[in-house]
Amino acid sequence: MLKIKNLHVNYNGLSALSGVNLDVEHSQFISVVGPNGAGKTTLFKAISGTVDVAEGSIKFKGEDLIKVKPTDRPHLGIAHVPEGRQVFSDLTVRENLEMGAITKAGRMNWKENLLFINTIFPILEQRSKQLAGTLSGGQQQMLAISRAIASSPDLILFDEPSMGLAPSVADQIFEQIVSMHKIKRLTVLLVEQRAIEAFENCDAGYVLETGRVAMHGLRDELLANDRIRNAYFGF
Contact 2, 194 (CB under 8 A): no
Residue 103 DSSP class: S
Q: How many residues does the chain have?
A: 235
How many residues bind other proteins, per CB under 8 A?
Answer: 59
With a CB cutoff of 8 Å and minimum separation 6, the contacts of 105 are 77, 151, 152, 153
Is there binding between residue 130 and other proteins (CB under 8 A)? no
Is there binding between residue 118 and other proteins (CB under 8 A)? no
25 or 171: CB nearest other proteins: 171
Is there binding between residue 146 and other proteins (CB under 8 A)? no
| Contact track, other proteins, 39-58, x by CB under 8 A | ---------xxx---x----
Contact 18, 67 (CB under 8 A): no
Q: How distant, in Å, are the alpha carbons of 1, 80, 98, 99, 151 from that of 108?
A: 22, 19, 12, 14, 9
**Which segment (21-29, 83-91, 113-121, 183-191) binds other proteins by CB under 8 A?**
83-91
Residues at the contact surface with other proteins, assessed by CB under 8 A: 10-16, 18, 35-37, 48-50, 54, 70-75, 79-80, 82, 86-91, 95, 98-100, 102-103, 147, 151, 160, 162-164, 167, 193-197, 200, 210-212, 223, 228-229, 232-235
